[in-house]
Structure formats: C-alpha cells, structure tokens
Chains A and B, each alone.
Chain A
Amino acid sequence: MEWDWEFVRQIMPTLIDGLQITILATILGAAVAAVVGLVFAILRMVAPAPVARATGFAVEFIRGTPLLVQLYFIFYVLPDIGIRLPALVAGVIGLGIHYGTYAAEVYRAGIENVPRGQWEAAKATNLTARQTWTHVILPQAIPPMIPALANYLIAMFKETPLLSAITVLELMNQAKSIANSNYRYIEPMTLVGVFFLIMSLISVFFLRWLEERYARVDER
C-alpha cells in the first residue's frame, strides 16, 4: 500500500481535534499531578510515622503498577461504588495520581537538598516557620526542581495515548477510528508518531533551556 497525501489532507482536521484533547489532558493531568505530588510529599515528610509509612507504600505501589491498569481501575471500578466519571476526567485523575507520585519524589529531593545550615540560620535569625519556608527554603528548593518536573511533564505527554483505552477521543483514538473505518493504517499511525516526535523534540529543546536557566543555583 502506498502513502497517500490526499488521504493525509483529508484526515488532518480529525487528528488536530485529537491533538487538542491530548494537550488538554496533559495540562490538566500536570495540574493534578502538581497538587497530588505536594500532598504526598508533605504526608511523607511531616505526617506522623504510620501515616508517612503508609503514604510511602502507596507511592511505591502506584509507581510499581502500570498506568493503563490504574486507568481501568478508575474507569471501571469506581462506577460500582457510585462514582461515575466522564472518560476524560477519569483519565486526568489517573495521569495526575500516577505522575503525582513522581512529582512527590522531586519535591522531596528538592527540599531535602537545601543545606541544613539554611534551616539553622533561619532559626538563629528568629524567622517564623512561615517566613522560613517562603523566604529561605522554597526560593532555594524550587528552581532545581523545575527541569525534573518538566521532564515528567514530557513523559506524561507521551503516555496520554493510553487514555484511548478508556474511550477518551484523543489523538491516538482518533487515529485508530480513522484507521478502522478506512482500513488504512499507514498514514494515521505514522502521523501520530510524527506529531509526538515533533512535540517531544520541541520540548527537549525547551527542557535544555530550562536546565541552563534553573539547574545551576549552587554555582551562583
């Protein structure tokens, strides 16, 4: 079977529709992951020991199991206990929780990398807990986290095709339905690959720039 440009032109609008959903899911997923990650990180660092240990186990469990199965779990099991979610919402929650566990590790490493002396100096200068966090710890902890978080954002973007398995009409699902109704797989599947490749090549350059910009706090 030959590559057909006319067919490509014809299916492009549908694929662009799918791409929009893909990007929407990525952005929403990232927002959920940022918040969930913060909750996990705080629970692991400051909660009483049993809670911290339980959170640690939950994080390990989520990281050790496939996102696809977690999506199935959210999409198929939750309706049985009365929580009925639209596919996109279920997908965003799945992405958010899965990548939240990765974000939690980034937050934790970022905060733990602030030298002890900074905490002691804050205490010595009689800063309140709030002042210590907002003026001393976070301004030093956040910049090194940015490249690592961006890295997971790209990883999450590449995982969004999994949402097609729970019927979200994103890029991959649009491509599959085009392929199934026209019996032509070459163009839609290749185009999906090309879309992802272009997006992630762009984001790799963006990531390099972020690393240049933020990763060298200690050298300043």
Chain B
Amino acid sequence: MIDWSGYIGLILQGAWVTVELTLMGSALALVVAFAAGLGRLSRFMAVRSLATTYIEFFRGTSIFVQLFWAYFVLPFAGITLTPLQAGVLALGLNVGAYGAEVVRGAVKAIGREQREACIALNLTRYQAMRHIILPQALPLMLPTFGNNAIELLKGTAVVSLISLTDMTFQAQVVRAQTGSTLIPFATILVLYFVMAWVISLGMRWLERRAGRGLDGVRV
C-alpha cells in the first residue's frame, strides 16, 4: 500500500505554486491590459502602433511558444530568468494582450454623449477617462476579465514544462514515483476546477460591487 500523505503534501505544494503564478500573472496581465488597451486608443500614432504590435504578437503565438522563448532564448540576450519569473512574464504578457482588447472594447462601448459631455464640461482627457469613462467601462470588462483569469489559471499548467514545480509538475512526479496515474491526475483536475470556480465566484462578487450605483446609467 502506498503512503499517500507525503504525495498529497507534494501536490498541495504544487497547488500553492499554481496559485502564486495565477495571482502574479493576473496582476501583471491587468497592468499590461490597461496600458496596451488605452495605448491603442491613444492620440499618438507611435503609441497606437506599438500597442497594436504587442497585442497582435502575443495573441498570434501560443503561450507555450512564448514561455519557451522567454526561458530559453532570452538568456542569450543576457536576460536570465528563473522559471517562476519566465512563467509570470509569459502568462502576464499573453493574457494581458487578450485583456487589452477587452479594455479597448469596453472603453469604446461607452456612448459618444458621455465624451461630448466631458468636453462640454471642460474636463481634461485624463479627468474624463479617470472619472467618467473608466468607472462606466469597468463593469463591462469584469465578466470577460473573469474568463481571462480562468484562461490564465489553465495556462499555468504549461509552466511545468520548463521545470517549474507547479501542480501539474508535482502530479508527474507522483506518477513517476508511484506508478499510479489515475489518482494524481484526477486530484489535480479537481483542484484546478475548484480554483476556476473560486475565480468565477470572486468575479461575480466584484461585478456586483462595481455595478453598484450604476443602475439607471447603463442602458
């Protein structure tokens, strides 16, 4: 009989790495999404094309290729990353590119009359964005951000392939050591599903909060 307690500890350690990666990756993705999404709406050609290039590049290649590139090719350019840094960087930039399109879509969905009212009130572009446009655009972004966060969580499994000891990696270790396949893989499938479920519950809570005070404003 195999003593499972040690192996469960191993998988839980991996689960913690997965959670860390998801949180850090999401934080980076959020920052990048706003920077690139608003960049695409900029007045300046240079900023717009920079943002568009970034978005098309990261949406056009897969997370796997980006991760390997960050981990294996960047060292030749003198930038050596730990697996965790490479993972957070690739996941954040990849999901950030998808998020940027969400930000852009939501900002563009805010009606023209809101912008015109801002101009009429002599608000600066920054003030209009900060106080009028974004507070209304945010609730539109949240549901898709939730889906993106779940995509990011699913993407974290790929980092096991650059030897980062996340949940999938630990499941492979357990498989190699015990020869049992069903138990480790079924366990981590359930754990991933629970994490995805927690994310969607959290996002629903955020949606309710962000939507407060906006009834009547949105059509």
A residues with CB within 8 A of B = 1, 61, 64-70, 72-73, 76-77, 79-80, 158-162, 165, 172, 176, 179, 185-186, 189-190, 192-193, 196-197, 200-201, 204
Contact = CB atoms under 8 A, between A and B. Distances in A.
A159 B62 CA distance: 6
Interface residues of B, number: 37
Interface of B is mostly: helix
Contacts of A201: 56, 60
Contacts, number: 102
B147 to A, nearest CB: 10
Contact of A196 (B62, B72, B76, B175): B62
Interface string B166-189: 001001100100000110011011
B165 interface: no
Contacts of B76: 1, 185-186
Interface in B110-167: 150, 153-158, 160-161
Interface of B: 56-57, 59-62, 64-66, 68-69, 72-73, 76, 150, 153-158, 160-161, 168, 171-172, 175, 181-182, 185-186, 188-189, 192-193, 196-197
A67 B161 CA distance: 13
A145 B189 CA distance: 30
A76 B179 CA distance: 10
A193 B154 CA distance: 21
A72 B172 contact: yes
A54 B57 CA distance: 39
